[in-house]
Amino acid sequence: MTSTAHDPSTAPNPSMTAAGPALLRRAAGRGSLGGVGLVLAGTVSVQFGSAFAALLFPRAGALGVVAVRVTFAALLLLLVARPRLRGHTRADWAVAAGFGLALGGMNLLFYQAIDRIPLGAAVTIEVLGPLLLSVVVARRAAGLLWAALALVGVYLLGSGDFGRLDVGGVGFALGAGAMWAAYIVLNARAGARFPKLDGLAIAMAVAALVTLPPGVASAGATLLEPGVLALGLAIAVLSSGVPYTLELLALRRLPAATFAVLTSLAPAVASLAGWLVLGQGLSPRECAAIALVVAASVGAVRTGGR
């Protein structure tokens, strides 16, 4: 997402309904409390789902797990939503396709990251994307302060044990953060253009087409093992179906800036999931670094509310 005044995510667009740009610009309304709850529930679901997915890496590999997870999530959403495929404009399909590419790219990059570095560190780096998005959209000087605080937290993390982490894993986490920011914007636009869960179901199908080929090439027949399929289905529900549905519904109640900084609470949840599920402990320095990122998120939410 660019920061220019002519960015299509912030400039008026007559081809979109009024709800689309409003999702990026309006202040939180009465429905914001329910929207906050939806975002937090989705964050818990996706982070614990990611932790359980990492347990499957030794059997199917990161690419294989992504393929199973996203494909099952797409099938479930298509079955439940039964999206209407007629009556949409080319612009609608372009938004859905872009949304799907962002979903697929985000999942591929993130799972490559947590295959190389601990879950808490990966998510701490990844949330820089949504946090920077919130600063760009809000266009307030105070937002720069909170962004700087988050960067200090990441630097503190890097000055400790973070230096021993795989460089490729850090790069994948940064790429996932960029895809996460794109996901937020395109999720809001899809929610404005498609009724109910239609846009999400179509986008998830596109994401399955993106992730399935590398997954099959990497894991092969392992993906057809009953144990892998069963775990993949559970992970799909926990990591994809539930959180993405909650987030889409939340974006209909919250501005994207508020949504972005709320999702920045994910490092704390991911660290808890990594500790409980994967046994990935954190040093006091790393806990302090994550606390700074979370504090920056809370501060950005409060500033945006004012």
Q: What is the mean pLDDT of residues 156-179?
A: 79
Contact (Cβ atoms closer than 8 angstroms) between residue 245 and residue 200: yes
Higher pLDDT, 201 or 14: 201
**In the chain, what are the domain boundaries?**
30-305
Residue 159 has pLDDT above 70, yes or no: no
- 201: its two tokens: 């179901």
- pLDDT winner (highest mean) among 144-148, 162-166, 300-304: 144-148
b/e map of 172-197 (b: 16 or more CB within 10 Å)? bbbbbbbbbbbbbbbbbbbbbbbeeb
pLDDT tier at 150 (50, 70, 90 boundaries)? Answer: confident
Residue 241 has pLDDT above 50, yes or no: yes
Neighbouring residues of 225: CB distance < 8 A, sequence distance ≥ 6: 59
Contact (Cβ atoms closer than 8 angstroms) between residue 16 and residue 193: yes
What digits encode the pLDDT tens for the residues 86-98?
888 999 999 999 9
Q: What is d(CA 79, CA 144) in angstroms, rounded to the nearest whole number?
A: 43
Tell me the backbone φ, ψ of residue 124, rounded to 5 degrees.
-60, -40
Higher pLDDT, 115 or 2: 115
Q: What is d(CA 11, CA 13) in angstroms, rounded to the nearest whole number?
A: 6
Q: What is the mean pLDDT of residues 108-116?
A: 94
Q: What is the mean pLDDT of the chain?
A: 80
Place of tokens 């220019």: 4
Neighbouring residues of 247: CB distance < 8 A, sequence distance ≥ 6: 38, 39, 42, 187, 259, 263
Q: What is d(CA 53, CA 69) in angstroms, rounded to the nearest whole number?
A: 9
Residue-level pLDDT at 290: 83
What digits encode the pLDDT tens for the residues 170-221?
899 999 999 989 988 898 899 889 988 899 899 999 999 999 999 999 999 9
H helices present in 115-166, as ranges:
119-126, 128-138, 141-159
